[in-house]
A and B are shown apart, each in its own frame.
Chain A
Amino acid sequence: MDRAERLSTYVLRLADNSLILAQRLGEWVGHAPALEEEMALANFALDHMGQARMLFSLAADIEDKDRTEDDLAFLRDSIDFHNVLLVEQPNGHFGQTIARQFLFDSFYQYQLEALSASEEPRLAEIAVKARKENHYHLRHTRQWLVRLGDGTSESHRRMQTAVDDLWRFTGELFSRDAVDEWAAAAGVGPDPATLVSRWDAYVDDALAEATLTRPNSGWMASGGKEGRHTEHHGFILADMQFLQRAYPDAQW
């Protein structure tokens, strides 16, 4: 792979994380437990959508294959998506969405912090903007983690189960392949392994405040970054891509 291929793959991974998470969060519209909370989740979805658009445009520029951001979002198949498995997991109940969002946001804050100093200036600019958005997301999701974890015995039980169930997807956040190694060597992005200790400390602190137990790190699922997704991914694309697939180049 040459530099353009590596860099566009690296940026696409970031873009896909945001796009898939945006789509998931958007599914809450009309279903959230309170109107105010629905607005919050929809705002998060829009923030991620905005990040995805900027990243897709950047990736399209870099790869220079005459594909637009829309082509990248709506005309790729599951196997060509590079998002981590965590973000494609179903919304479940509100606590499960909070657990997913908390685990991702807490990782993302350190990833964005490092990306803000990227040698690729356009990526750094996007990261600086996204970092502010993510800071608020994390503040909000951490609050909910604590409220539900340290709430009633029923909310505690559900929150603990949600964290336990999603824990096996956290390993992939820090996994590293040839593209990550290239990015770290080129100063484009962080070596994911360097983020682990701070993430551990942050998550431990939040879980303790929420009176939740940190799950044992046993077997970890992976493959999303290489396009091997869980069974949920195809259904997300079916929803998201239907219009462009059924009515190619439709505009409104």
Chain B
Amino acid sequence: MSNQQWPLFEIFIRSKSGLNHRHVGSVHAADTTMAIDHARDLYTRRGEGISIWAIESRLIAASDPAETSALFEPAEDKIYRHATFYGVPDGVENL
């Protein structure tokens, strides 16, 4: 057995029609076909999904944790960006 690891893939599952794919975890696999198989075996054992996306982890670009405050803190005091100033008519339940 070689010590070389298969590449890592990030797995996204759609739990039912109309919902978006959600990140559920990752698997090692030799290619995308195998990644889908492994994801099926690992993450849909209890009927969790109807669709699987797999993408090699190295292809995902991520924000830099060191820049967290510069990227996200400026949004914290911009409360006017939240739609909380509207009066909701009586009887509207699912807004």
Residues of chain A whose beta carbon lies under 8 Å from any beta carbon of chain B: 33-37, 39-40, 43, 136, 139-140, 143, 147
- Complex Cα spacing A43 to B37, Å: 12
Name the distance in Å between A66's Cβ and chain B's nearest Cβ.
Answer: 35
Chain B residues, Cβ within 8 Å of A43 = 41, 45
Interface presence of B29 (CB below 8 A) = yes
Residues of chain B within 8 A (CB-CB) of A34 are: 6, 28
Question: Would you call B34 and A39 a contact (CB within 8 A)?
Answer: no
Chain B residues with CB under 8 Å of A40's CB are 37-38, 41
Q: Which of B1, B34, B37, B41 contacts A33 (CB 8 A)?
A: B1
Q: Which of B1-56 contact A (CB under 8 A)?
A: 1, 6, 27-30, 33-34, 37-38, 40-42, 45
Residues of A within 8 A of B42 (CB): 36, 39
Minimum CB–CB distance from B33 to chain A (whole Å) comes to: 7
16 residue pairs bridging A and B, Cβ less than 8 Å apart: A33-B1, A35-B28, A36-B27, A36-B29, A36-B41, A36-B42, A37-B38, A39-B38, A40-B37, A40-B38, A40-B41, A43-B41, A139-B37, A140-B37, A143-B33, A143-B34
Give 12 A-B pairs besides A36-B28, A136-B40 with Cβ atoms closer than 8 angstroms: A33-B1, A34-B6, A35-B28, A36-B27, A37-B38, A39-B38, A40-B38, A40-B41, A43-B45, A139-B37, A143-B33, A143-B34
**Which of A33, A35, A36, A147 gathers most chain B CB within 10 Å?**
A36
> Which B residue sits closest to A147, measured CB to CB?
B30
Chain A's nearest CB lies how many Å from the CB of B64?
A: 30
Q: Which residue numbers of B lie inside 8 Å of A, CB to CB? A: 1, 6, 27-30, 33-34, 37-38, 40-42, 45
Counting from the closest, the 7 A-B pairs by CB-CB distance are: A36-B38, A40-B41, A39-B41, A43-B41, A36-B27, A39-B42, A140-B37
Interface majority SS (helix, strand, loop, mixed), chain A: helix
A79 to B28, CA, bound (A): 43
Docked pose: A34 CA to B41 CA in angstroms? 13
A35 to B34 alpha-carbon distance, docked (Å): 13
Residues of B contacting A33 in the complex (Cβ-Cβ under 8 angstroms)? 1
- When C-beta atoms are compared, the residue in chain B nearest to A37 turns out to be B38
Residues of A within 8 Å of B33, CB to CB, are 143
Most buried by A among B1, B41, B45: B41
A143 vs B33: C-alpha distance in the bound complex, in angstroms? Answer: 9
Taken together as a complex, chains A and B put the C-alpha atoms of A119 and B27 apart, in Å, by: 43
Q: Which residue of A lies closest to B29 (CB)?
A: A36
Residues of A within 8 A of B40 (CB): 136
Q: How far is the CA of A147 from the CA of B41 in the complex (A)?
A: 19
Which residues of chain A come closer than 8 Å to B38, judged between CB atoms? 36-37, 39-40
**Smallest beta-carbon distance B49→chain A, Å:** 14
Complexed CA–CA distance, A140 and B36 (Å): 11
Q: Which one of B6, B27, B29, B37 has the greatest number of beta carbons of chain A within 10 Å? A: B37
Report the bound CA distance from A35 to B38 in whole Å: 10
